[in-house]
Structure 1
Amino acid sequence: MGFLDIDRVTKSFGGLKVLHETDISVEEGEFLVLVGPSGCGKSTLLNMIAGLEEVSSGQIVINGRSMNGVKPADRNIAMVFQSYALYPNMTVRGNISFGMEMHGIPKKEREKKIAEVAELLQISQLLDRKPGQLSGGQRQRVAMGRALTRDPDVFLFDEPLSNLDAKLRVDMRTEIKKLHQKLGTTIVYVTHDQIEALTLSTRIAVMYGGYVQQIGTPQEIYDNPANLFVAGFMGSPSMNLFPARIVSANGAPAAEISLSDGRSAVLPFAGRDGTGEEGREITLGIRPEAITEPDGADRKSRAVHVVDSRVEITEPAGSDIFVVTQMGGKDVTARFSADVPVKPGEDFQFAINMEKAVAFDPKTEARII
């Protein structure tokens, strides 16, 4: 049993099932991110935890107490919305104080809590302003401050940064992470942004089509995706996925891939069990950072293989340059150091770290190596 248990929970609207049987256990103090594309069921699940939607079947338990049939106000949760949901006619102080007033907390205690929260979120100088006088980032801090006054069992965040510009999103991610480290509160956070999921969470639940596709730490999700959807969705740039075939190389499994000029290359996997799979068609998955210039390859890896391939496109990105070539008839992105003299139209050496490679069944989309 975790601090928050989602036990065989489903949700249907009429005859349409939008969330299939879902099991997630969240420990106290954990930061769980629900991530996936629009319509995958993540916001529906968050709304059921909050009590804004009823559970069709299964149960949600918080701190040992079943929430089925319990009103949102009685759940001891606090929710931060995408839209901030601030009262425009109230000051920042009034917005933060409102929930405490509704619960009959004495004024002296309210003022003390407001001062603590304002200092924590660095908004003390904004207390007498109204929401219309604040930037998007400041409004989001006020919305978080209002939630913090509750001392809830669980914080729920529903895409809180999606209305902010790119730089402000990065800054607010840092603030939210600092806040979690300082308070140690249990957080469930919904986003469609996989970078947000990877940077904020202690664990991630990747959702698609109403199902949880994989649950794990950010590193587990990134390095060992359970299926093609997770592999392609998590990471920016996303994992390279292209056709290959399993062959035997000195008794060990290897991937045979076609290159841009029609040649093929055999790339042995390192420390992977693929015996008995020879001849099987696969989808090979390799992250861009595992395909580099030879000098940039991982010196500790036992399975770096160098191949020549035609450069199609280069995309400078500051400290790196993304180099696009073709493997298996698909565009494949490599991450080179910015000072590598690589040009489109030329053949160049690509170092592929097969310790980082994974393989999927093209039909079932499940990982096999």
Structure 2
Amino acid sequence: MGFLDINNATKSYGSVQVLHNVDISVEEGEFLVLVGPSGCGKSTLLNMIAGLEEITTGDISIKGNLMNGVHPSQRNIAMVFQSYALYPNMTVGKNITFGLEMHGVPKPEREKALADVAKLLQIELLLDRKPGQLSGGQRQRVAMGRALVRKPDVFLFDEPLSNLDAKLRVDMRTEIKKLHQKLGTTIVYVTHDQIEALTLSTRIAVMNGGYVQQLGTPKEIYDTPANLFVASFMGSPSMNLLPMTVQVEGESVYVKTQTKDGEGVRLKCVNSADALRAYDGQKITMGIRPEAITDPDGADQSSRHIEAVQARVEVTEPAGSDTFVTCTFGGFECVARMRADAEVKPGEIAPFAINMEKAIPFDPQTENRIA
């Protein structure tokens, strides 16, 4: 049993089921991120934990106590919303302590809690201002302070950074990460941004169509995606997904592409080679992350198998520390991630190195990873 347990939870609106048999157990101090596209059910699940939405079937427990039917005010949770939800007529200090005042906490305790949280979030100089006098990042800190001051069992974040500009979003992401590491709080965080999910979480639940597609650590989600949806959704740029045919030759297993004009490539498999033998002569989808396709000098020298290919460069996109290269080999377009000083030009045929140790095969029928 975890600190927060979601057992076989479903949610329906009339005859339409929007959440299907969700099972997640969150340990104390974990940072769980619910990630997925709009309409996947992640905010609905968060609202069910908060008590803002009723559970249709299943159970939700916090610290071993069943929460089904328990009013939100009795759950000892704190929620940080996308819209900040601050009282515009109150000062920052009043916004932070208002909930404590409503719960009858004595003034000396409220003032101490406010001072502690203001110092932690570095907003001591803002306490006498009104929300309208604050920037978006400052408002988000105040919203977080209002949650922190209550010392809840579970913190719930509903896309808290989506209203911020790109740089501020990165800065606030770092602050939230520091805060979690310092306080060791239990957090459930909703976002559609897979970079937020990978950088903040201790575990990720990738959701789509009301189902949890995969639950695991950021490394597990990124390196061993359970299916094509997870593979394509997690990662930026997304994983290259190539239709290829399996070819078994003695002890070796290859995958190849073949176009109508005869152009093609053949790559030797080192991952899932035994499982791929059952697909001899059949089409599969081979997933290769952009960083596994690079220039020969930038290839991972510790890899068990690097394949050398020639590919036509279509587009180059310098990105500071890296250069992303859209190239065509075997009749299919791929994105490669090269070093910043890699010298390739659109229109030329250039050498590329593919780290086959990072290649992941998928069954095109079931869309699941081939073990």
Place the TM-score, normalised by the shorter chain, in its bin. Answer: over 0.9
- Of residues 268, 283, 286, the one that matches 2:285 is 283
Pairwise mapping of residues 1-369 of structure 1 onto structure 2 (< 5 A)?
1-258=1-258, 262-272=262-272, 273=274, 274-369=276-371
Give unpaired runs (5+ residues) of structure 1: none
Residues 294, 337 of structure 2: 8 Å contact kept: yes
SS in 2 for 1:114: helix
SS in 1 for 2:144: helix
Residues 244, 281 of structure 1: 8 Å contact kept: yes
Q: Could you tell me the percent identity over the aligned residues?
A: 72
SS in 2 for 1:111: helix
Greater shift in the superposed pair: 276-285 or 295-304: 276-285
- Kindly provide the amino acid, as one letter, of the partner of residue 180 in structure 1: H
- State the Cα distance separating 1:356 from its structure 2 match: 0.2
- Kindly provide the amino acid, as one letter, of the partner of residue 186 in structure 2: T
Residues 193-236 of structure 1: per-residue CA shift (max 9 Å, x gap)? 00000000000000000000000000100010000000000000
Residues 128-162 of structure 1: per-residue CA shift (max 9 Å, x gap)? 00000000000000000000011111000000000
- Kindly provide the amino acid, as one letter, of the partner of residue 47 in structure 1: N
* Structure 1 residues 250 and 313, CA gap change in structure 2 (3 angstroms): farther
* Structure 1 residues 132 and 250, CA gap change in structure 2 (3 angstroms): same
- Kindly provide the amino acid, as one letter, of the partner of residue 108 in structure 1: P
- Kindly provide the amino acid, as one letter, of the partner of residue 319 in structure 1: S
- State the Cα distance separating 1:249 from its structure 2 match: 4.4
SS in 2 for 1:333: strand
Residues 303-336 of structure 1: per-residue CA shift (max 9 Å, x gap)? 1000011111111111211111124543200011
Residues 3, 64 of structure 2: 8 Å contact kept: yes
* Structure 1 residues 142 and 261, CA gap change in structure 2 (3 angstroms): farther
The alignment yields a C-alpha RMSD, in angstroms, of 1.3
- Kindly provide the amino acid, as one letter, of the partner of residue 307 in structure 2: H
Residues 243, 328 of structure 1: 8 Å contact kept: no
Give unpaired runs (5+ residues) of structure 2: none
Distance 2:361 2:278 in 1: 14
Distance 1:327 1:36 in 2: 31
Q: How many residues align?
A: 369
Residues 242, 328 of structure 1: 8 Å contact kept: no
- Kindly provide the amino acid, as one letter, of the partner of residue 265 in structure 1: V
- Kindly provide the amino acid, as one letter, of the partner of residue 27 in structure 2: E
Distance 1:81 1:13 in 2: 23
Distance 1:50 1:260 in 2: 56
